[in-house]
Amino acid sequence: MARRVAVIGAGSSGLACIKCCLDEGLEPVCFESSDDIGGLWRYQERPKPGHCSIYRSLIVNTSKEMMCFSDFPMPAHFPNYMQNSQLLQYFRLFAAHFDLLKYIHFQTSVYSVRQRPDFSQSGQWEVVTRNREGCKERHIFDAVMVCSGHYTHPVIPLTDFPGVDSFKGKLCHSWEYKDPHDLHGKRVVVVGIGNSGGDIAVEISRVAEKTFLSTRHGAWVVGRMCDKGLPLDMIMITRLMGFLPRIVPKGLLNWSGERGLNQKYDHRLYGLQPEHR
């Protein structure tokens, strides 16, 4: 009898885990709290508490050549860097090709995961789920794969900003942001220069009266494309690049990388020069 495996979540990791379980002769049972696959990459107009959320224009920062599943290449006509709807389309093609949907229980939340009393002998887990009607069910599994993601709860440290209580403007996290339409003609500050902060600041700047991008320590700004227009990750994630740090001094590698980035734009001129290498 095949060993049963619970897979929590039907996003990119959950789909891959279902496929791998089938490849190994295991019996996967996937629980997905929403009514569709895709997880983070499924755009929705209204974010739901406890779920991932993305903005309408989001484009992936990993090229299709490097992020596709090894046994299912992305369609040739897809761009190197896809808009989120195209990536979701790819996941649908993947799930359909390997007939994965029949293993997924939609609108079913996992309520608890516990080791059984005889876990030291059986190695089994008790998983309690709750369906759309609110009914709970208990299941026994030989293994559990947690694929629920980690971009579900926004971090909003408002206590670190004195005077925020008297601020009369709009405050929101990138988790809530969808598009810049309600920011026309406004003065906006984006706090943080991570991937989403940079994306959102650029998009807002096209409609706002003034856009500020605030960064505490600066950052090395790295584009998606590398030499000759090739995707950066195709050039950097190679056996050679992985071997170089073992034979070349770290200081020399940092100097070379920083020199290349500063040739595109001098980070000091833009107030972006970070303290870290």
Residue 205's CATH number: 3.50.50.60
Tell me, yes or no, whether 81 and 8 share the same domain.
yes
Tell me, yes or no, whether 58 and 84 share the same domain.
yes
Q: Would the pLDDT of 126 be above 90?
A: yes
Query: For residue range 207-231, what is the model confidence (pLDDT) as tens digits?
Result: 999 999 999 899 999 999 988 889 9
Tell me, yes or no, whether 110 and 69 share the same domain.
yes
Q: Would the pLDDT of 49 be above 90?
A: no
Q: In sequence order, which residues have a C-beta less than 8 Å from that of residue 181 and are 6 or more positions away?
A: 207
Q: How far apart are CA 29 and CA 27, in angstroms?
A: 7
Tell me, yes or no, whether 132 and 19 share the same domain.
yes
Nearest to 220 by CA among 159, 266, 184, 156: 266
- The arithmetic mean of pLDDT across residues 27-48, rounded, is 94
Q: Would the pLDDT of 149 be above 90?
A: no
**Most distant CA atoms of the chain, gap in Å:** 66
Tell me, yes or no, whether 56 and 134 share the same domain.
yes
Tell me, yes or no, whether 36 and 165 share the same domain.
no
Tell me, yes or no, whether 107 and 163 share the same domain.
no
Q: In sequence order, which residues have a C-beta less than 8 Å from that of residue 2 and are 6 or more positions away?
A: 25, 26, 27
Note the pLDDT of residue 118. 95
Note the pLDDT of residue 227. 82
Domain with 83 in it: 4-146
Domain membership flag for residue 70: yes
Note the pLDDT of residue 191. 94
- Tell me which of 125, 146, 167 is where a domain ends: 146
- CA angle, residues 90, 96, 100, in degrees to nearest 5: 110
- pTM for the complete prediction? 0.90
Tally of structural domains, the chain: 2
Domain membership flag for residue 258: no
Partners of 8 in the beta sheet? 31, 146
Tell me, yes or no, whether 43 and 120 share the same domain.
yes
Q: Would the pLDDT of 89 be above 90?
A: yes
Q: Would the pLDDT of 143 be above 90?
A: yes
Nearest to 124 by CA among 266, 250, 264, 6: 6
Q: Would the pLDDT of 261 be above 90?
A: yes
Note the pLDDT of residue 240. 93
Q: Would the pLDDT of 1 be above 90?
A: no
